[in-house]
Homo-oligomer: A and B are copies of this chain.
Amino acid sequence: MEHVTKFRTIGPTTYLCPIPAVMLGCADPEGGAPNLITVAWTGVVCSKPPMLSVSIRKSRLSHDMIARTGEFTLNLTSRALCRAMDFSGVKSGREVDKFAHLGLTPQPAPGLRAAPAVAEAPAFLSCRVRSVQELGSHDLFLADIVEVSVQDRFFLADGSIDEAAMELVGYAHGKYFVLGEALGFFGYSVASPEALERRGF
């Protein structure tokens, strides 16, 4: 008898995993405290020009701040930042100054006027909003990636970046997981034995 994989349906739900869970930094157009929120509804949407999307509920303080300033940062989450990232996703900037409460350091973001980055993040992306679309519960912001900054200490001697050392966090159906073993690189399934060895696989 042939083996048949059995599936169970769970209804239409946002079960894409793993996905990013990153901290978005934005500036107050009135000159007040900057804000941090966590976004998991984000993804790359274009290579040339480099663009990404973030989706945010209209009711969020950051929605207004991003719509009015037209810019934000996305700060990658390391294992050490996981708890702060979670906190940024459950508390509103209306209640608490999250940078101050979490002991995080606002850092100027190259290419942006005012939106702060998180100095403790292993890397961050400077983003400028291109368009906003209403989808339902969330509005979709499409943004240009105008610069990327990576902490000095993650560069290897040959100039490449050691993402494994960042201990990055991914999100899967309500849970956070740190990245584990590296399985390969883009193209490894058709790479020569020499290329595999050179890349350490």
Among residues of B, the one whose C-beta sits closest to the C-beta of A41 is: B44
- Contact indicator B7/A150 (Cβ below 8 Å): yes
Q: List the number of copies, as a whole number.
A: 2
Task: For the complex formed, measure the closest distance between the CB of A5 and the CB atoms of chain B, giving whole angstroms.
Answer: 4
Is the interface on chain A under 10, 10 to 19, 20 to 34, or 35 or more residues?
35 or more
- Contact indicator A13/B190 (Cβ below 8 Å): no
Task: For the complex formed, measure the closest distance between the CB of A197 and the CB atoms of chain B, giving whole angstroms.
Answer: 16
Q: How far is the CA of A175 from the CA of B124 in the complex (A)?
A: 18
Given A45-B41, A55-B46, A187-B90, also A148-B178 (CB < 8 A): no
Decide if A110 is an interface residue (CB 8 Å cutoff). yes
Given A5-B107, A5-B120, A180-B180, also A188-B135 (CB < 8 A): no
- Contact indicator B172/A179 (Cβ below 8 Å): yes
Residues from chain B with Cβ under 8 Å of A125 in the complex: 15-16
Decide if A12 is an interface residue (CB 8 Å cutoff). yes
Residues from chain B with Cβ under 8 Å of A22 in the complex: 16
- Contact indicator B50/A41 (Cβ below 8 Å): no
Given A12-B145, A12-B147, A110-B9, also A138-B50 (CB < 8 A): no
Residues of A within 8 A of B (CB): 4-20, 22, 40-53, 55, 74, 76, 79, 82-84, 86-87, 89-91, 105, 107, 110-111, 119-120, 123-125, 135-138, 140, 142, 144-153, 155, 161, 163-164, 168-170, 172-190
29 residue pairs bridging A and B, Cβ less than 8 Å apart:
A5-B120, A5-B151, A7-B107, A7-B123, A8-B152, A12-B50, A12-B145, A13-B50, A15-B123, A16-B74, A17-B163, A18-B20, A18-B170, A19-B44, A41-B43, A41-B45, A45-B140, A46-B55, A46-B136, A47-B138, A53-B53, A86-B187, A90-B187, A90-B189, A140-B142, A163-B173, A168-B177, A172-B179, A180-B180
